Structure 1
Amino acid sequence: MSGDRSFTRGEITGALTFVVLAVAIGISSYRAGLNISGGTGGAGMTASAAPAPVNGQDLYASNCAGCHGAQAQGGVGPGLAETKAWADADFRQAVLHGQAPGGRTLSPVMPRFGDTGLGGEAPTEEQIDAIHAYVKGL
């Protein structure tokens, strides 16, 4: 028995057909990926256009809990049960400027977050309202 084996015409045709079909499928898949991703190449990813929702619990934990307690029960600062009944505008005024409803000035120990910011940036009304909503839910 000899070790020489040659391919038949049918085997060669089948192999070439397979290669041509594989290349055609690969090219069409790549082009489909370009169309899906806006023509920038491959299967691209884009950032979400909508900002992440503000998380009042996280903001409270990182800015308020150290003084007012994890459950707003008080600690270095007073408990915040009274603030649950405040209007959002009154709560913002207290947090941002240290002025409680009725014109009462809060302790100088209370940061004026309008001046100091939250995490180094000026706080937004949405952030302060989210903290207030979180406190109301405790």
Structure 2
Amino acid sequence: MTDGPSFSGREIAAVVSFTVLAAVIGVTSYRAGLNLSGNAGGAQMQAASGPAPVNGQALFASNCAGCHGGQAQGGVGPALLDAKTWTTAAFNDSVLHGKHPSGRELAPVMPRFAQTGLDGAPPAPEQIEAIHAFVKGL
């Protein structure tokens, strides 16, 4: 008779099989992880390569708010409440060339952004549209 516990052949085989299976899963997972980090397959991530969207609020703050107020409520320049209803073309003509939709010339203090630029660069149509969208949202 033995004093310690005894295991059957079936129990020993189950423990060995479990150990081998665990080792195979561990090694396979480890190697798969190495392959992914080595760009050998799997999902790849890249930084966005497109331009950032134009921020109308930031453009308004840096180019318009000094005269028209932070919420377009007016200041040195008039309030822009009626500009919410202007067409995109009318808003562009006003901002770029100083022309009111009625046809009158805006005051000389209003920059002609077609010549002066926005933030030191020539204005892009998307920038003017973004400013108009911001003003409409006020």
TM-score (norm 1): 0.70
Whether 1:30 aligns to 2:51 is no
SS in 2 for 1:102: coil
Corresponding position: 1:126 with 2:118 = no
Question: How has the CA–CA distance of structure 1 residues 120 and 36 changed in structure 2, closer, same or farther, with 3 Å as cutoff?
Answer: farther
Equivalent residues in 2 for 1:11-26, closer than 5 Å:
none
Give 1:60's aligned amino acid. F
Asked if 1:105 corresponds to 2:105, the answer is yes
Q: Deviations over 1:50-103 (max 9, x none)?
A: 322222111111111011001111111111112111111100011011111132
Distance 1:36 1:122, change over 3 A: farther
What code does the residue aligned with 1:74 have? G
Residue segments in structure 2 that go unaligned for 5+ positions in a row: 1-22
Q: Give RMSD over aligned pairs.
A: 2.4
Q: Deviations over 1:82-129 (max 9, x none)?
A: 211111110001101111113211111111111111112111111111
TM superposition score normalised by structure 2: 0.70
Q: Which amino acid aligns with 1:30?
A: L
**1:48: Cα distance to partner?**
0.7
Give the whole-Å Cα distance in 2 for the aligned partners of 1:110 and 1:70: 16
1:28–1:129 CA distance, 2 compared to 1 (3 A): same
Instruction: Look up the match of 2:71.
Output: 71
Number of aligned residue pairs: give it.
116
Q: Give 1:30 shift.
A: 2.8
For 2:135 and 2:104, the matched residues in 1 are separated by 20
**1:30-61 deviations in Å (ceiling 9; x for gaps):** 321213476xxxxxx63313322222111111
List alignment gaps of at least 5 residues for structure 1: 1-17, 39-44
Partners of 1:30 and 1:76 lie apart in 2 by 64
How far has the Cα of 1:23 moved from its partner? 8.4
Identity of aligned residues (%): 56
Q: Structure 2 CA distance, aligned partners of 1:22 and 1:122? A: 59
Amino acid at match of 1:112: R
Asked which structure has the greater CA Rg, the reply is 2
